[in-house]
Amino acid sequence: MLSDDKRIRIIVGHYGSGKSEIAMNYATKLRKETNEKIALSDLDVVNVYFRTREQKDFLESINIHTIYSSIDAPALDLPAVSAEVMTPINDKSYNYIMDIGGDKVGARVIARFKNMIKEDEYDMFFVINANREQTQTVENIITHIDEIQKTSGLKITGLISNTHMIRFTTIEDIIKGYKLTKEVSDISNMPIKYITCIENLLDEIPSEINESILPINLYMRDKWM
């Protein structure tokens, strides 16, 4: 269950790996598991597209508090972070999901708050998409992991396999991503936390994948995309 993860969930990874879609799905599924307070912060100051802030009205409608840049201009790529980001870090009544920008550049944002985040209160999940050019090998993935940990000052506690081709994803994509993530896990000693799977493929997942499955609904893409 998602509610078994630590109170603060930080989602990081390579640019374009699908972090924001995972953050959206994680938050909405966590809402179904608990009546406790949930906050989702969009701290991506790297990518102007496909941000969770675009779903603000929907998230607020299901009682998920949303936090964005300190300047209310969702279409602009502004390196401004609201002081409100700190509230759910300090307020232990919140379940908190933090959507961080890609690579070590994005990780600089969470580094601002590292002294406030206690080791026993957070998980930091690294998202792996084996269909992205720079995360197709174990070596490249380990490099990204090391850079993000060094820049953020925080430790990655788990891996999320999120290999997909959006609506054209096949079960072969998911298996490929799982196998690569398993190699990374074996070398790094970081556990696989979740395997994502677009909802219409859930019945096709083979028995060899016995990790926790995170079903994915495409919130961040319009139906024509």
Average pLDDT over residues 186-194: 98
Average pLDDT over residues 182-205: 97
- In this predicted structure, what is the pLDDT of residue 76? 43
Amino acid at position 51, single letter: R
Percent of the chain with pLDDT over 90: 77
Using alpha carbons, select from 198, 188, 186 the residue that is nearest to residue 162: 198
Using alpha carbons, select from 166, 171, 169, 153 the residue that is nearest to residue 207: 171
Q: For Cα atoms 107, 88, 154, give the angle at the middle one, nearest 5 degrees.
A: 30
pLDDT digits (tens, 9 = 90+) for 22-77: 999 999 999 999 999 999 999 876 655 445 667 888 999 999 999 986 545 444 44
Query: 88 in helix, strand or coil?
Result: helix
CATH topology of domain 2-216: Rossmann fold (3.40.50)
DSSP class of 131: T
CA torsion sign for 3, 9, 11, 12 is: negative
pLDDT digits (tens, 9 = 90+) for 137-185: 999 999 999 999 999 999 999 999 999 998 899 999 999 999 999 999 9
Burial of 13 (0-12, 13-18, 19+ CB in 10 A): buried
Cβ atoms of 103 and 144 within 8 Å: the answer is yes
For residue 126, what are the β-bridge partners?
Answer: 12, 159
One-character DSSP codes across 170-202:
-HHHHHHHHHHHHHHHHHH-PPEEEEEEEGGGG
